[in-house]
Amino acid sequence: MLGILGVNGLVAEFWDLVDKMKTKGYGVSGVTRDRVLEKFEKEGLEGDIEKLKGVFATGSIDNSVEKIGLRVSRIVRSKFWGEDVEGEIKDLSAEFSSGLVKIVLENLATEPMKALIFFRWVEESGLCKHDGKSYNAMARVLGREDCIDRFWKVIDEMRSNGFEMEVETFDTVLARFMRRKMIKEAVDLYELALNGANKPAAKYCTYLLRNIVVGKQLDMGLFSRTVKVFSENGNVLTDSMLDTILKALRSVGRFKECNKILREMMAVGFVASGNLQRKIAFGLTSAGKNYEASEFVDHMESSGSDLDHKAWTSLIEGHCVSGELEKASNCFKKMVEKKGVTDAGYAVELLVNAYCLKNRAVDACNLLGDYVCQNQLHPWRTAYKVLINKLLVQGGFKDALNLLGLMQSHGIPPYTDPFFEFISKVRNWR
């Protein structure tokens, strides 16, 4: 691959691959070097020529840290740990550093117990004093389901020695925990990282919360711990975070649990925007979760976050969608009591449409008339038009006529067109 890249003039890609090979303990062969040098010379790439020659001049092929690390890891992997393994490693006469230890541990990632034995031995034998780099490398190897106790022991030891968890360690181990559905361990890791020097970005909180709510069981204890440690470290929960969580709840059929979620978030200072209140209101009532919808309203009012008229309208709309007309009417009544009728136009239209679809235009007319007379409600012209059309179809001619008077009293041009058509049909029939 190096030869293909080099002789085709892909210089940047060539050096990228050289670097990646070095991290794995591999060097550039003499044959490849000669082929690529010839190309570099033709192109006049003096800097790259010197750089490639330098790979060999510094002995990087045989004596680089990466190559030595690969040799050590092969020795450790080849047989059971014992004096013979220790002797072979010492015979290499390598100068051990935390960087070399890190490379060995990375190459032993699939054999965590051998990696741990090497990690302990190399310090006990006086070959190397562990620092943050080697501790983090060991933690990344042990951060898996079958080594979880040893993982936490190394983490505790690392912190007691004054070293911090690196971002790479957090990212690697968290991803592994999540793949294995180890949610509790993921939350433990997140708490530890947030209370350290290298704090994870806010996106990880959303990522964790989303995975908690879609888990096999909704663990509110883990949810509460996550939002609490997030806020205690000076972070603020946002609308986008709750929106993501609500979508996750809906995806697993748990939307009715949104009240529990909202309470935990509000306990650390979160205030849901009107837009999210509307989403929750509609989501609950449209799914027929009437108890949860009432609970939502009560909780918002008790917390001082009164629903605005749009949120009340969303509650009504949801009831209409689920076919709960009486509940929709009762909800409208509460809305008028709390918010008045100034912004009730759309809610009235929703009710009228819902009643008419159920062939209950007369009931809709009575409902509208009561609110017009008692609460000075001013319906929109579109609501009048729908209701008049349906009344004429459903045998409510007199009620439809009365609506014309209401329209006039509100300064709305009377909707007379359907009456002419209705009367002409009656005459023709006679």
pLDDT tens digit sequence for 94-107? 888 999 999 999 99
Quick check: 186 and 205 in contact, CB under 8 A?
Answer: no
Taking CA 275 as the corner, what is the angle to CA 272 and CA 278, rounded to the nearest 5 degrees?
95
Q: Looking up tokens 């290298």, which residue turns up?
A: 198
Task: Write down the pLDDT at residue 60.
Answer: 46
Quick check: 229 and 189 in contact, CB under 8 A?
Answer: no
CA 346 to chain centre: 34
What's the pTM value of the predicted model, to 2 decimals? 0.78
Separation CA 115–CA 138 (nearest Å) = 8
Residues 353-365 have a mean pLDDT of: 92
> Mean pLDDT of all residues in the chain?
89
* Cα–Cα separations (whole angstroms), residue 178 to 91, 168, 201, 373: 42, 15, 17, 60
CA 306 to chain centre: 28
pLDDT tens digit sequence for 137-188? 999 999 999 999 999 999 999 999 999 999 999 999 999 999 999 999 999 9
Kindly state the tokens that stand for 188. Answer: 């433990």
pLDDT tens digit sequence for 28-38? 777 777 777 78
Whether the pLDDT of residue 358 is over 50: the answer is yes
| Confidence tier at 270 by pLDDT (50, 70, 90) | very high
